[in-house]
Every structure is written in structure tokens, then in C-alpha cells.
Amino acid sequence: MRCLLLIFLFAALIQTEMPQAQTPPASPIANVSGRKTTSLNGAWHIIVDPLESGLNAKYFRNRKPKDKSDLVEYDFEASETLNVPGDWNTQKEKLLFYEGPVWYEKTFSYAKREHTRVFVYFGAVNYRSRIYLNGEALGEHEGGFTPFDFEVTKLLRDGENFIVVEASNQRRNDAVPGLNTDWWNYGGITRDVLLIETPETFIHDYWVQLAKGSHDQIDGWVQVDGDRRPQQRVSVEISEAGIKTSAVTDADGRAAFHLPAKLQLWSPKNPKLYDVLISSGGDAFHDSIGFRTIETRGSQILLNGEPIFLRGISLHEEAPIRGGRAYSADDAQTLLGWAKELGCNFVRLAHYPHNENEIRLADRMGLLVWSEIPVYWDIAWDSPATLANAQLQLKDMIARDHNRASVILWSLSNETPVKPDRLTFLRTLAEDARRLDSTRLITSAMNSAEDDGPDRHIFRDPLGEFLDVLGLNEYYGWYVGRPEDADRQIWTSVYDKPLIISEFGGGAAYGRHGDAATRWTEEYQANLFVHQLNTVSKIPHLAGLSPWVLMDFRSPRRPLPGIQDYYNRKGLFSNAGQRKQAFFVLQKFYRDRQAHEPPLP
């Protein structure tokens, strides 16, 4: 009994000594690239912690021995390093398959300034993270692809500071995504880490977009944060368009505005961006914003009021050539440059929110974007915590990119099973997305068309009722039948809504050749694309395509030696950047289609 009492007392002592973490604020600070920032990127010391002993050992204290007899069983300064941003899997061969916690530490100097607030910002940490500054808990975050920040104004020291992050990519059944995926579970601090400086009262977020359905009216709002947020005058100026307006914030720090505007509309052929100056008190910054409308009419998608066919490709956030998680502006330039070379006006960024470099570049290049949260395959549909997690990831995806003209589709999920709990879960997300952003279209990638006779398939997934645009993944010629079997397939839908064939494709190892009936050859993949493109072009509701996939990507589900070697080989490019024969098949199809399309205004 005495032994048990001692155990309880020891556990209670540990609990009281453990810093109490907080949840992140309502949404991360908007337009980080337009703010005054200090980068914390670079080499961070790490400790791999497969048993998660670092919590009880208090790695977050970054303690040094007080004397030669003091026992401390870790030392960040003597430990190896990883580059941030970056994943640990491709930086350390021994961590290629590792799933679990890794502790990161970085020491940095900071000179404090009066009347300045400071936030530490993470572009993404996969998957779950605990953040500490100078031994004190800042908070926790769950979700591997959305940004978050914490205020550190009071904890920062004038001079030397240290930040510690526990990052864990351990998969869980109740997480988003769940246990099963078909992409590599890259762990670590995978995007930028920054210190953001703001005035004491500052602009936290804003919305500057065309009013829904209007080509000549701007609706917007500015959200101010700080003790003096009520009765703050905020201004929005677009000097090139002769626009300047101001408003006063309410008790919650929000100021709304509505004004006429004569603007060049953003489109793939004319990706016009305006310099927008937003200011309030001592806070002011610029953003580059495009203005366009997106809506549906029957089975058509309308961009700026005119029908558009989405010539697309799906892609993962996989770094070309070097491998690993993509994060840089150069990575984005290569991937989206390949999409443009292919003849695309559209990219499906699967299966999670991609880094902001890709979204910003899509704005400048004129590529329309499908952006998705990782509700993938089968997850814990009946778990309130799982739903709350998905809702937070959706909210943060929309918050980061709601001023980006390129983003036209918010996607809720990919290839989820048809059952009641799933429908309730995704219907809730659809309602959230419309409440957060009524100007964009809602979609999901589904794979549940029903047989309606020999070689006939009808799409009637009940989720379609709650979507604006339907996504359908189908794999005739790869998982079902042979490539030529696709020619006989007839696809219809019970919904009078636009349909995007959001995936089709097949695998080929670059440089592997044979006849068109031999799997894994470039000839087989190219032949599959020929037959698929012939078939899907006949779908009456077809509004676009995003075949699978731009580039080969790592996947632990793909072990076939000598061919896959833990890569999904459905890419039109190899992971080394080599074009397969199917690339040229799709490129010709898109060029021919583009040549016969009426020009957009």
C-alpha cells in the first residue's frame, strides 16, 4: 500500500512540474510573407525518442549538468542535427521508415523591442507537436500540413533563447489521416519556422475578394488583434485600380467594407494580381491578390461567368529530383512548371494542404487549384475528436489561402466508404466550408459509382447532394480490367452537377519497355492513357480531369523490387524528373483540346 502511495505521489509531482500546454489561437496570422520576420530555419539539434522518454526526462528544459556528479542523460549540443525545413526520413537513412517522436532544439539570439509583440510561426510539423520556449510550454498542435503560431512576447529573453519541439509522425486510427495512406509519412518540421513581429495592436487576418457572383463589387473585412482593437480605423488601398476605402472596427475588432471596383479579372490566360495595401494604426503590409468569380451552372464550371474545362493533373508535395517533402520556392517552380508544360490550367493538390509556395506560385502562373484536407480512405467517422481535428484542418487551410485567386475548390476527402457515419461527418465539413467561404466550390474525390448494367456505371454517392462539384476516381486498365476495356465503359450521374475525373492512371518504371500489354512498361501506361482519354471525353457531365499523377512518389505500400522499390510509379515523370511516354499522350490531348476551346474574356 505504501509503495502504491509513493507511485501516486511521484506521478502527481511529475504532473505538477510538467508545463501546461495551450491550444493554438483561433487561426494563424495571415500573410506571413508580408510581415517583418526572423527565420529560425537551418540546423536544429535532434534526439530520436522511440519510447517517448523525453517527456519524463524533461528534454524541453534543455538542462545542463550543474556539476560533474549531476546526472543528465541527454545533451542537445552534442547531438546530431537536421535541417529545418525538411523531413527526417530523407536526411537520415536510419530514419527512412521511422515513425515516432523526435525532439528538435535550436538556440537563437533576439533583441527585444518595446511596443512589439512576437509570435513563433510554424508552416507545418508532421503530425503532432509540442512546442517549448526557454523551458516553458507554448502549446500543442495536431495536423501535419497546416500552419500554427503562438505568442512568445513575454517568454522571449533579450539575448540568448532556445526553442524545443517534440514532433511525432506516429499514425493513429483516430487521426486525420488515419492509419492507412498511400504516401510517405514524412516526419519532422517540414516547413518554415519564423518569428513574426507585430505592433501591440495589429491586423491578424483579412478578406479582400469579389462579392459572390459579382464582377464589379468587392466584399471584405479586416480583423484586428490587440487591447485597442475596438474603434480602430483600417484602410484598404488598391492604387492601380483607384480604390481606397476605410472602416472602423467593432467591439470584436472586425471592420467590414463593400465597394464598387473596376478590375481586370484573374484567369489562367491573364493571371492579373493587384498590389493591395492594408493598414491600421501602426500596422501596414502589402499582398498580391487576384480577383475572379467561380460558380457552377448545371454540369458546367464557370470562371468569370464563362464555361471552363479543367485540364489538370494531380500531384503530391514530393520534392522533385532530391526526394522528400517539397517545401521550397524552387520545388514549387519545378512541379508547377511541369504541369504548365503538360498543358494544364488546373492542379489537384492531393491529399492534404500543400505549402504556401505552391499556392502563391499558382496565383502568378495562372493555375487553378483544388486544395484538400487529409480525410483519406477510412477514418474514425464516429469520433467527435476526429471530426474536430478535420474541422480545424479545414478551417486553417481556408484561413491561409482565402485570398488566393488560384484556389477554386475546397476538397473534403478522398475515396471514403459510403456509410451513414461518413455522410454525417462530411456533411458537417461541407457546412463548415460554406460558412467559412461562400465564394468557392466544395468537392470530394469519390470512387463509388454503381454498376448499372454491363459496362455501365452510374454515380449516385449520397455525398454528391452536399457538393458543388463531383470528383470521381476510377482505374479501368489498372486495378480493373485491361486498358482497352475502358473503351466500353459508359459513365453517368444522377446529379446535374459538374464532374471531374479526379484520378485515373497506371504504373510504369521509367526506361522499362515492352509491348502495350505488358504491365510496368512505359508502353502499357501510355496505352492506358490513350484508352482512358477516349472514354472519359464522352462523359456528359465532364468538366475536367486530374489524372494520377504528375511525378512518382514514395509509398511504403509499393515494395515490388526492381520496379517500385517503395515508390508509387504512376507518375508521368519519374522521381528523377524524366518524362515517360504517357506524358506526351496527355500533353497532346490537352493541346488539342485547348486549341478548340473558345477564349476566355
- Residue 415's closest CA among 520, 528, 548, 582? 548
Report DSSP state, residue 561.
T
- Residue 546's closest CA among 311, 313, 308, 301? 313
pLDDT number for residue 26: 66
d(CA 314, CA 349): 6
pLDDT number for residue 600: 55
pLDDT number for residue 17: 45
pLDDT number for residue 4: 38
pLDDT number for residue 599: 67
d(CA 508, CA 564): 9
Q: How far is CA 500 from the centre of its chain?
A: 20
What are the residue ranges in the chain where pLDDT is below 50? Answer: 1-25
Please identify which residue in the block is written with the cell numbers 500543400: 354
Q: Classify the C-alpha dihedral 559-560-563-569 as positive or negative.
A: negative
- Residue 84's closest CA among 175, 188, 159? 188
- Residue 314's closest CA among 593, 594, 573, 579? 573
- Torsion of Cα atoms, 558 then 561 then 567 then 573, to 10°: -130
Q: Classify the C-alpha dihedral 163-22-153-30 as positive or negative.
A: positive
Please identify which residue in the block is written with the cell numbers 449520397: 462
Q: Which CATH number fits domain 308-595: 1.20.58.1610, 3.60.10.10, 3.40.50.620, 3.20.20.80?
A: 3.20.20.80
- Residue 511's closest CA among 465, 595, 569? 569
pLDDT number for residue 554: 98
Q: Which CATH number fits domain 213-292: 3.55.50.30, 3.40.50.300, 2.60.40.10, 1.10.10.10?
A: 2.60.40.10
Question: Who's near 155: CB < 8 A, 6+ residues apart?
Answer: 133, 134, 136, 138
CATH placement of domain 20-199? 2.60.120.260
d(CA 224, CA 234): 9
Domain boundaries, the chain: 20-199, 213-292, 308-595
Element (H, E) at 434: helix 420-436
Element (H, E) at 106: strand 101-110
